Amino acid sequence: MDKISEHSGVKPPEWKRRWIAWRNRMLGSASFQDWAARVPPFSFMARRRAAQTFNLVAGFTYTQVVLGVVQLNLLDLLHNGPCNAATIAAQSGLSEDAALRLVRAAAALDLAEEISPGWWMLGQLGASLRTNHGALAMIRHHPLLYADLADPVALLQRDRQAPTALADFWRYGAQTPGETADRYSELMAASQAMVAHEAIAAYRFDKHKRLLDVGGGHGAFVQAVARACPNLALGVFDLPPVIAGTATIIESAGLGSRIALHAGDFFRDSIPQGYDCITLVRILHDHDDAQSLDLLRTIRRGLAPGGRLIIVEPMAKTPGAQEMGDAYFGMYLWAMNSGRPRSAAEYGKMLQSAGFARWSRVKTPQPIIASMIVSST
């Protein structure tokens, strides 16, 4: 089975089609919109829908405000104390008018807060973002994605193997120079902390004896697990140029005796033996269906009897996180020329096809960051 998808299904009943068509006619009616805006409680819903519609129109502008704030280190500046436009201009290299325009835009997004006329400090959302190093790393990386999305129709119409800025950034293999592999792994490591936090909060890794993180990069995930589970032996399996950079990082963290490093290609080589828990952290959604299924079969052959495979990544059709799954990662992975977001049900089918006996979805505290599936042999 090379393609596991939910492209087809049962045709919806006629009553549902009629109901949705009627609803959409009403929502699109100018007279209904005018009536709803004046009559409680419909007026509240009308205002909310209007705000949602405007956010769809203005969303790219918001992301560019965030990018500018991060690139100019405005979050740190506002964290250190009250600033006026002159202070922001002096620190950022902007004119005072431009600095004022940016900080007002940041305040509209709750990244900044005007505490008295003309004086600004960090806003609530800005305070949360400032210490989220993974999110900051992705924001700095986003200009590549924005370049590819400048013409979304052209992006979707092009041949899937045509070059893109994002695909060029992520492309590397066993023969890739270490510098390029390090660039990839450093971004992954920076954003891995929040994913590791979700996984550790959702699953008792300490009930296992040995854990192998397949595609584990510079070991950010296993380092987090090592701190949470002091008696658990750990391993990382990744391409040789990646592992070359991982060794120094693991040693400097004082974990060289606890974390074994295995160099290899998980699409060509066997999975290292002797582990009763294997993790795939943000790996499968980067690859197309045939490759993902091949990897699952390889892991099934290499996993010890009674062992567990744990998949951790953002997933499609996740309640409360639909935008992250299908909108953000759907387009991101299309631009990357590889992979797609999948639902838990789709992964369940793939796991069964790969020979796993059982699987279940495990609730994570913040599914917008990552969801989890645990499967057993």
Q: Do 187 and 288 fall into the same domain?
A: yes
Burial 71-97 (b: 16+ CB within 10 A, else e): ebebbebbeeeebbbebbbebbebeee
Do 151 and 121 lie in one domain? The reply is no
pLDDT of amino acid 167: 86
Residue 181: pLDDT band by 50, 70, 90 thresholds? very low
Give yes or no for residue 348 having a pLDDT over 90: yes
What mean pLDDT comes out for the span 65-79? 96
CATH number at residue 27: 1.10.10.10
Q: Looking at the structure, do residues 102 and 223 belong to the same domain, yes or no?
A: no
Query: Could you give the CA distance from residue 128 to residue 126 in angstroms, rounded to a whole number?
Result: 5
Whether the CB-CB separation of 185 and 351 falls below 8 Å is answered with: no
d(CA 230, CA 65): 42
> Does residue 1 register a pLDDT over 80?
no
Same domain, 95 and 236: no
Which position has the higher pLDDT, 30 or 93? 93
Q: Is residue 4 part of a domain?
A: no
Range of the domain at 84: 14-130
User: Are residues 66 and 167 both part of a single domain?
Assistant: no
**180, pLDDT greater than 60:** no
Residue where one domain finishes, among candidates 105, 130, 155: 130
Q: Which residue has the higher pLDDT, 65 or 256?
A: 65
Average pLDDT, the chain: 88
Inside any domain, residue 295:
yes
Q: Is 6's pLDDT higher than 60?
A: no
* pLDDT > 70: percent of the chain: 92
Let me know if residue 20 belongs to a domain: yes
Has residue 178 got a pLDDT over 60?
no
Do 229 and 317 lie in a common domain?
Answer: yes
Q: Is residue 199 part of a domain?
A: yes
- Residues 107 and 201 grouped into a single domain: no
Question: Quick one: pLDDT at residue 17?
Answer: 83
SS (H, E, C) 135-181: HHHHHHHHHHHHHHHCCHHHHHHCCCCCCCHHHHHHCCCCCCCHHHH
Mean pLDDT, range 342-370, rounded to an integer: 93
271 neighbors 301 (Cβ within 8 angstroms): yes
89-133 pLDDT, tens digit each? 999 999 999 999 999 999 999 999 999 999 999 999 999 999 988
Within-domain flag for 92: yes
List, for residues 231-241, the tens digit of each pLDDT value. 999 999 999 98
Which of the listed residues 80, 106, 130 is the one where a domain comes to its end?
130
- For residue 158, tell me if it sits in a domain: yes
User: Is 70 exceeded by the pLDDT of residue 8?
Assistant: no
pLDDT class of 173 with cuts at 50, 70, 90:
very low
Last residue of one domain, picked from the residues 78, 100, 130: 130
47 lies in the same domain as 146:
no
| DSSP annotation string for 80-109 | TS-B-HHHHHHHHT--HHHHHHHHHHHHHT
The pLDDT-based confidence of 275 (bands split at 50, 70, 90) is very high
Whether residues 125 and 144 share a domain: the answer is no
Residues 122, 150, single domain; the answer is no
pLDDT above 60: residue 360: yes
Q: Higher model confidence: residue 29 or residue 206?
A: 206
Query: Does 159 lie in the same domain as 126?
Result: no
Q: Does residue 124 share a domain with residue 146?
A: no
Asked if residue 81 has pLDDT above 90, the reply is: yes
| pTM of the full structure | 0.82
Confidence category of residue 175, pLDDT binned at 50, 70, 90: very low
Q: Is the pLDDT of residue 183 over 70?
A: no
Asked whether residue 339 is domain-assigned, the answer is: yes
Strand order in the sheet with 358-362: 259-263, 233-238, 210-214, 277-281, 308-313, 371-376, 358-362
Q: Label residue 174 by pLDDT band (50, 70, 90).
A: very low
Q: How many domains does the chain have?
A: 2
The model's confidence at residue 261, banded by pLDDT at 50, 70 and 90, is very high
pLDDT above 80 for 342: yes
Q: Is residue 1 part of a domain?
A: no
pLDDT of residue 117: 95
- The domain that holds 237 is classified in CATH as 3.40.50.150
